[in-house]
Amino acid sequence: EAQVTQNPRYLITVTGKKLTVTCSQNMNHEYMSWYRQDPGLGLRQIYYSMNVEVTDKGDVPEGYKVSRKEKRNFPLILESPSPNQTSLYFCASSSPGQGNYEQYFGPGTRLTVT
């Protein structure tokens, strides 16, 4: 089944404790993105990647890091999480050759930073 998976689905952590949220897709998509969703602010793009080793900032990259060492994986790293990074995070993937960059989303990761 074609899908985007994220782990963990729920995470409660403390300020300053480094964490990684993983994202993996099995559709051989070139493009992958991370978004955060907050009440009243909607979905905002954090980072995106157009292929292996190619990443770029979205609208809200501060406090986040990403890497794209393999085509299928695009982890989101919070080196020193803060309470304002409490949010619902989504990973998405797309491809020019399959659906004309139609975005497929993962189920989301709900992060709480205390």
Partner 1 sequence: KQEVTQIPAALSVPEGENLVLNCSFTDSAIYNLQWFRQDPGKGLTSLLLIQSSQREQTSGRLNASLDKSSGRSTLYIAASQPGDSATYLCAVKDVNAGKSTFGDGTTLTVKP
Contact footprint for partner 1 (CB under 8 A): 31, 33, 35, 40-45, 48, 50, 56, 58-59, 90, 92, 94, 96, 99-108
Cβ nearer to partner 1, comparing 59 with 79: 59
CB of 76 to partner 1, least distance (A): 16
Cβ nearer to partner 1, comparing 18 with 101: 101
- Dig out the tokens for 53 from the structure: 């080793």
In sign, the C-alpha dihedral spanning 59, 65, 67, 71 is: negative
Give the C-alpha distances (Å, rounded to integers) separating 103 from 10, 13, 63, 80, 93: 23, 29, 24, 29, 6
CB of 101 to partner 1, least distance (A): 5
